[in-house]
Amino acid sequence: MTNGDYTPLLLSLKVAAISTSIVFVAGVFFAYLFAKKQFFGKSIIESFFMLPLVLPPTVVGFGLLVLFGKKGWIGSWLIEWFDFQVVFTWIGAVIASIVVSFPLMYQSAVAAFESLDKKFENVARTMGASEWRVFWTVAFPLAWPGLLAGLVLSFARGLGEFGATLMLAGYIPGKTDTIPMAIYFAVESGQMEKATFWVIIIVALGFSTIMWLNWWSKRNMRRFSNDVKRR
Amino acid sequence: MKKNVLLFCLFFVLLLSFGCSDGGKVKEDEEQVELLVSAAASLTDVLTELKEEYEKDHKNTSITFNFGSSGKLAAQIEQGAPADLFLSASAKDMDNMNDKGLIDEPSRIDFTQNSLVLISNKDSTIDLNSFEKIDSAKIDHLAIGEPESVPVGRYTKEVFEHLGLWEPLQSKLVMGSDVRQVLTHVEMGNADLGIVYASDALISDKVKVLAKADTEWHEPIVYPGAIVDSSRHKEEAQEFLDYLMSADGKLQLEKFGFK
Amino acid sequence: MLKVHINKQLFHYDLEVDFTATSEIIVLFGPSGSGKTTILNSIAGLCQPDSGEISLNDQLFYGDKNGSLPTRERNIGYLFQDYALFPHMTVEKNIRYGVKKKGTELNLILEKLLDVLGIRHLLSKYPHQVSGGEKQRVALARALATEPSILLLDEPLSALDSETRTECQNELIRLHELWKIPFIIVTHDMDEAKKLGDRILFLEKGTIIKTTACNR
């Protein structure tokens, strides 16, 4: 029923995996930086980060076209210097995914770092640890459950991204057709069997990722909560 | 005391209702009719302009439009949404409505036609003056409507198949979910070429028309209109439909790229 | 020798203290909110005084002109009230966290600590698997394993039951005799202050109102 064409599945996984990796690194970096420091304009930057969460996907997509289009601010620069085109390529799908899933990662990471008891980092400092070591050996592992939740949410969001992707990456069968696009156009053209097939695939993917997260965090919480019970 | 107040109220209500029905009788000849027209989105600009003119000549009629994709409008009417006149961009949707007995069949008429045009960005340097000369090697992207779900895409596919260009152009096609998106891709310079309705190309000042598709190459792009069967203002609806077919109406439609 | 002379504006009052400490046990005694923990944090560099000077031996920790030495360069040991053992590391990893070199000399110190505190059997366990008294000993071992020049203890025994408490008090005194560095202990328990302290500084609303020397 899909003519043995599994490009949407592979493409979706590739796009979500790459965008999630980038979003994870950037989200953790900014969250750690911002959770510790207060500075002028912080709330403005944070609101800007959160914007894609409240804007309709087509608005986000249009904004991305303005930035990354052939004549866009960033897009024209990329073409001129690197002969690299974003619009109508799978890279465009990655960028759209990054923009819409970043707020989820950022928010989870900020919550994770803010709920972290400062005494753990402080005690590491008294033992001579550098800020870099404090982050890698204390803050990051202790915040990991929260960071992982953000990671999984970002992956799920990236997998399901449609509106902005359609604008920036376009719909080019075999090149930029992610699962949500395959579903949309199958439904619109009345190919219900094809639509159902892809809906089952994406539901299974989303469902199993979130199930896994729940299972994992429950198992992990048990380890941390024992500490509390004993006291 | 209480009784008196009640009586007074009753009297007042009676008086009020009398007054109303009386006033209604006097003004019956000039009763304001609100005509509800469900129209295809591609007609937005022409109908909005036409409405002003029309309401000037028909003082007792005010027109309210409901614009949307033909399929969605048809579904709305089927669900019981109020409408007097249905102006569709696709014969298929009108056929469906007819099969379900939702329209007044004798009133159905194709009131205008649209055509396909090849467009490029206004600043584009592409030297091209016909569909046949589109060279897949010379372009990066050609924006069209998705052929299975978007009417303009279906007609485009017919044109390219007729010209034997469908296969060679395959890798260059960027498909939009509606004609507006196709236009945007060309307007912003992301697609080198695009194929849209003549009426869409006309209202955008950021694109130029390179060529017109021969009407022989595709099924005629007709706009059927019909009076909705449940309408209570069939007379006024017919009047508006007639106006669209009149010389005045045709002139307006042509101004916006229809014919 | 530790010299502390600092001013800091707090929420309800101004903290203003001036004291020195040699290799003795100083107890900061006072009601909660009297500024005890702020003094410890200032010595550790976890918060900054508004003005004044803090130095240990010849090293300036804080000076009005020189600014503040980062916590990691102060070579201090700090025992937090609830020990702050890293929950995701084994006892052994916790104790080794601050150990920089891996020479035999250092291993001797670790061995000695494990024996003195009797925690060798806990090495492979996680913090949530050991009791309150054991946690306190592990935290002590961790703080001393870095060979600090001073040990700061913030209500180190308040989380323990009375029996373990007495045991640990004795242990602290024994460790101090072995290590011979200044111990600054914060407490609001008078008996404990008397038992542990060489000197007791009585704090109220940010000032030292009385200093008592004790004879243990």
Residue C4's CATH number: 3.40.50.300
What domains, with CATH codes, occur in chain A?
Answer: 7-230 (1.10.3720.10)
DSSP code per residue over B174-223: EEESSHHHHHHHHHTTSSSEEEEEHHHHHH-SSEEEEEE--GGGS--EEE
Residues B151, B99 share a domain: no
Q: Which domain holds residue C112?
A: 82-148
Query: C158 CB near a chain A CB, below 8 Å?
Result: no
Query: A16 CB near a chain C CB, below 8 Å?
Result: no
Give the C-alpha separation, A53 to A46, whole Å.
Answer: 12
Last residue of one domain, picked from the residues C122, C148, C174:
C148
Query: C13 CB near a chain A CB, below 8 Å?
Result: no
Residues of chain C in contact with residue A129, where contact means CB-CB under 8 angstroms, are 72, 97-98
Chain-centre distance for alpha carbon B182: 17
Q: Do C78 and A123 touch (CB under 8 A)?
A: yes
Query: A126 CB near a chain C CB, below 8 Å?
Result: yes
Q: What is the mean pLDDT of residues A34-53?
A: 88
Residues B152, B197 share a domain: yes
Min Cα–Cα distance to chain A from B80, Å: 23
Residues of chain A in contact with residue B181, where contact means CB-CB under 8 angstroms, are 166-167
Residues B102, B41 share a domain: yes
B197 is in an annotated binding site: yes
Q: Which residue of C has its CA nearest to A120?
A: C84
Residues B251, B188 share a domain: no
Residue B106 lies in a domain: yes
Residue B42 lies in a domain: yes
| pLDDT for position A40 | 87
Residues C122, C30 share a domain: no
| pLDDT for position C106 | 65
* Predicted confidence (pLDDT) per residue in B20-55, tens digit: 444 444 444 567 889 999 999 889 889 999 998 899
Q: What number of other Cβ atoms are within 10 A of residue B79's Cβ?
A: 7
Residues C159, C142 share a domain: no
Q: Does B224 have pLDDT greater than 90?
A: yes
Residues of chain A in contact with residue B156, where contact means CB-CB under 8 angstroms, are none
B13: confidence class by pLDDT, cuts 50, 70, 90: low
Q: What is the mean pLDDT of residues A83-98?
A: 92
Residue B49 lies in a domain: yes
B42 is in an annotated binding site: yes
How would you classify the pairing of strands B33-40 and B61-68?
parallel
Of the given ranges (B117-121, B194-198, C8-12, C16-20), which has the lowest mean pLDDT? C8-12
Q: Do C74 and A126 touch (CB under 8 A)?
A: yes
Mutate to test the interface with A, among C73, C88, C129 (most CBs of A within 10 A): C88
Q: Do B190 and A65 touch (CB under 8 A)?
A: yes
Q: Which domain holds residue B153?
A: 116-212
In sequence order, the 6+-apart residues with CB closer than 8 A to the CB of A206 are A156, A159, A160
Residues C191, C174 share a domain: yes
Exposure letters A181-203 (e unless 16+ CB within 10 A, then b): bbbbbbbbbebeebbebbbebbe
Q: What is the mean pLDDT of residues A174-188?
A: 90
Cβ burial of B132 (10 Å; 0-12, 13-18, 19+) is exposed
CATH code of the domain covering residue B160: 3.40.190.10
Query: Which residues in chain C land under pLDDT 70?
Result: 101-106, 215-216
Residues of chain A in contact with residue B150, where contact means CB-CB under 8 angstroms, are 188
Residues C162, C173 share a domain: yes
Q: Do C100 and A224 touch (CB under 8 A)?
A: no
- From the list C215, C216, C202, C180, the residue with the least C-alpha distance to C17 is C202
Q: Do C80 and A123 touch (CB under 8 A)?
A: yes
B149 is in an annotated binding site: no
CB A169 within 8 A of CB A60: no
* Predicted confidence (pLDDT) per residue in B229-245, tens digit: 989 998 999 999 999 99
Q: Do A137 and C84 touch (CB under 8 A)?
A: no
Residues C164, C117 share a domain: no
Of the given ranges (A142-151, B1-10, B190-199, C125-134), which has the lowest mean pLDDT? B1-10
Give the C-alpha separation, A124 to B163, whole Å.
Answer: 73
| pLDDT for position B165 | 92
Last residue of one domain, picked from the residues C120, C148, C176:
C148
Residues B92, B61 share a domain: yes
| pLDDT for position C42 | 94
Q: What is the mean pLDDT of residues A77-104?
A: 92
Give the C-alpha separation, A114 to B88, whole Å.
Answer: 57
Mutate to test the interface with A, among C68, C75, C80, C93 (most CBs of A within 10 A): C80
Query: A171 CB near a chain B CB, below 8 Å?
Result: yes
Q: Do A188 and B149 touch (CB under 8 A)?
A: yes
Q: Which residue has the higher pLDDT, C38 or A228?
A: C38
Residues B249, B122 share a domain: no
Q: Does A231 have pLDDT greater than 50?
A: no
Mutate to test the interface with B, among A58, A188, A192 (most CBs of B within 10 A): A188
pTM, two decimal places: 0.81
Domain total of chain B: 2
Q: Which residue of C has its CA nearest to A132?
A: C72
* Predicted confidence (pLDDT) per residue in A182-222, tens digit: 999 988 888 889 999 999 999 999 888 888 888 887 777 66
Residues C154, C138 share a domain: no
Radius of gyration of chain B (CA): 24
**Among the partner residues B141, B148, B173, nearest to A185 by beta-carbon distance:** B148
Residues B124, B102 share a domain: no
Average pLDDT, chain B: 86
| pLDDT for position A39 | 85
Residues B89, B139 share a domain: no
Q: Do A231 and C159 touch (CB under 8 A)?
A: yes
Query: A36 CB near a chain B CB, below 8 Å?
Result: no
Residue B192 lies in a domain: yes
B70 is in an annotated binding site: yes
- From the list C75, C73, C40, C22, the residue with the least C-alpha distance to C181 is C22
Cβ burial of A132 (10 Å; 0-12, 13-18, 19+) is exposed
Q: Do A125 and C132 touch (CB under 8 A)?
A: no
Min Cα–Cα distance to chain C from A6, Å: 42
Give the C-alpha separation, A181 to C198, whole Å.
Answer: 76
Domain total of chain C: 2
List the chains bordering chain C where 3 or more Cβ pairs fall under 8 Å.
Answer: A
Q: Which residue of B has its CA nearest to A63?
A: B188
Residues of chain B in contact with residue A66, where contact means CB-CB under 8 angstroms, are 188
Q: What number of other Cβ atoms are within 10 A of residue A223's Cβ?
A: 13
Residues of chain A in contact with residue C93, where contact means CB-CB under 8 angstroms, are none
Last residue of one domain, picked from the residues C103, C127, C148:
C148
Residues C157, C168 share a domain: yes
Residues of chain A in contact with residue B174, where contact means CB-CB under 8 angstroms, are 88, 170-172
